Amino acid sequence: MVHVSETADALVVFGITGDLARRMTLPALYRLTEQGLLTCSVIGVGRRPLRDDELAEQARESVTAAVNDVDEKVLTDLLSRLRYIGGDAEDGSLYDRLREALGEATAPVFYLATPPSMFLEVAEELAGAGLADNARLVVEKPFGSDLRSARELNERLTAIFPEDRLYRIDHFLGKEPVQDIIYLRFANALFEPVWSREDVDSIQITLAEDFGVEERGSFYDNVGAIRDVVQNHLLQVLALAAMEPPSGGEDAIPRRRLDVFRAMPAVDPDNAVLGQYEGYREIEGVAPKSETETFVALRLEIENWRWAGIPIFIRAGKALPVSATEVVVRLQRVPQLRWGSHRLRTPGNDDIVLRVGRNAGVTIGIRAKTPGKEVSQPVSLDLHFTEELGEPPEPYERLLADALRGDSTLFPRWDVIEETWRIVQPLLDSPPPLERYAKGTWGPPSADLLAARNGGWRVPGSGD
C-alpha cells in the first residue's frame, strides 16, 4: 500500500536536539510552515532537560543558520507549535507524558531522528503506552546492518507498525534531481528509444566526495561505504535509471523499482574493489587497525530483457578529487564510415550524464566536425536545472510532507530493502582485500580495471 488517507494531527520528533534535527529536520519544518503544509503540533523528545522556550531558541538558531531571509512571522508560527519532553527513551514515564502532550491526537507521526539502535526500543515503548494504534513510524537509514539483521528488525517493527504505517527514509529519493530521472526518461522522446541493451554500452553511477570522514569517525567506522551509500542511495538511483515505465496504481514506481532488484544477481566479490584512504586510521573514533572501506567500486548486472549483458558500474568514495553524484549512460560506438577518400572515425563513446548532485542537470556528449579538418571531436550539450528551474526543495521537506499526509511513494518498502541487502550481502560476507589510496585520487588503481573494457570511468567535474 502506498497511501494512508488520514493526515497527521501531530508530529513527534525523537532526537529533536540532535545533529540531524538541527541540520535537516527543523529547517525543513520551517519551509513546510512557510508553504502552509505544517498544520499540526510538533512535540520534540530528547535526553536534555529543556524548557519549551529553550527548544524554541535552539530551533530559531537552526533555522536562521540554514535559511536565507527568514520570515519572522513564519518562524514564530513554527515556534508556537513546538513543545518539548525530556527524558530517557527507556523510561516508561516519558511515554506517559507524551500521551498527555498528544491530547486528543488520533493520527500522530513518530519520527525517529535517532541512532538505529533505538528504533525497536522506542517502537515497543510506544506500543506499551498505547500510542502505536493508527500512528505512523518514520525511521532513518540504515535499516539493519546486513540481510539477517534487517529481516529481524523488520519482523519485530512490523508486528507493531504494519508495513503501510512504517516509513523508512532514504533521503536520496527525496532529492528533486533523483526524482527527475523518471521525468527525463519518460516525459521526453529523446532518451527512451536508446535506453536499452540495443544502444547502451554500459551504465555508471558515481557518488564522489572530496572530503573525508572528519568528525564522524566513530559512526563511520561501524558502517563503511557499502552500508552508508551503496545498499541504499545508489541502488535506488540505479533502479530509477533502469526500471520500466510505471503504470497502474499509486504503487507503480515502487513496483518497478522492485522488478529491477529482483532481476539483479548478488554482487560477485571478484567484481568489486574496496579501498581506504591514507590517514583514515588516525581519525578520532576510528580503530587503529580498522578494515572499514571508505571507497567501493563494483560491477553488477540486471538480467532482464532490457538490460541483459550490459555491465552496471557503481563507484563511491571519500577523499576523492571532487564532490559529484551522477548517472552515466554510455552509448555504443557507431561504426566507422568510408566514402571516396574520406574516413569518418568515432574513437570514443557518447555519454548521457544525469547529474543528481549539487549541480543538477544533464550533459549529452556528442561528436562534431573539427573546423578545417576531416576529423571529429567531442563536444557537450549542457543543461543546468537550477538556472532553468530555480532552486529545488530540500529532500527532507518533501519526505516529511509526504509522511504527514500519508504518501509512502518515496519511502522504500521492505521488499525493496530486503532485495538491496541480498545484492550486497556477499561483499559483507567475503570482502575483497582492502587497498589503500591517497587522498585526492580516484581510489585504488585496481578500480580502473573494472570499467576499462567499457571506456573507463567518466571523470566528473567539480560540483557535478
CATH of the domain at 315: 3.30.360.10
CATH number of the domain where residue 18 is located? 3.40.50.720
Residue type, 380: S
Catalytic, 233? Answer yes
Structural domain includes residue 124:
yes
Same domain, 337 and 427: yes
Same domain, 297 and 394: yes
How many domains is the chain built from? Answer: 2
Same domain, 49 and 177: no
92: domain range?
A: 10-140
Same domain, 262 and 136: no
Structural domain includes residue 150:
no
Distance (Å, whole) CA 449 – CA 359:
28
Per-residue pLDDT of the chain (464 residues; tens, 9 = 90+): 445 557 999 999 999 999 899 999 999 999 999 999 999 999 999 998 889 999 999 999 999 999 989 999 999 999 999 999 999 988 889 999 999 999 999 999 999 999 888 999 999 999 999 999 999 999 998 899 999 999 999 999 999 999 999 999 999 999 999 999 999 999 999 999 999 999 999 999 999 999 999 888 888 999 999 999 999 999 999 999 999 999 988 889 999 999 999 999 999 999 999 999 999 999 999 999 999 999 999 999 999 999 999 999 999 999 999 999 999 999 998 877 777 777 776 667 889 999 998 889 999 988 877 787 777 778 888 889 888 888 888 999 999 999 999 999 999 999 999 999 999 999 999 999 999 999 999 999 999 999 999 999 999 975 45
Same domain, 401 and 263: yes
Same domain, 109 and 185: no
What are residue 297's DSSP bridge partners? 273, 315
Same domain, 131 and 183: no
Structural domain includes residue 152:
no
Choosing from 171, 233, 342, 384, which is the catalytic residue?
A: 233
Sequence-separated (6 or more) residues with CB below 8 Å from residue 332? 199, 200, 201, 349
Distance (Å, whole) CA 209 – CA 230:
14
Whether 10 and 41 have beta carbons less than 8 Å apart is answered as yes
Structural domain includes residue 215:
yes
For 13, the grid coordinates are 520528533
Helix intervals (H) in 35-117: 52-66, 72-81, 92-102
Structural domain includes residue 261:
yes
Distance (Å, whole) CA 402 – CA 16:
19
Distance (Å, whole) CA 414 – CA 306:
25
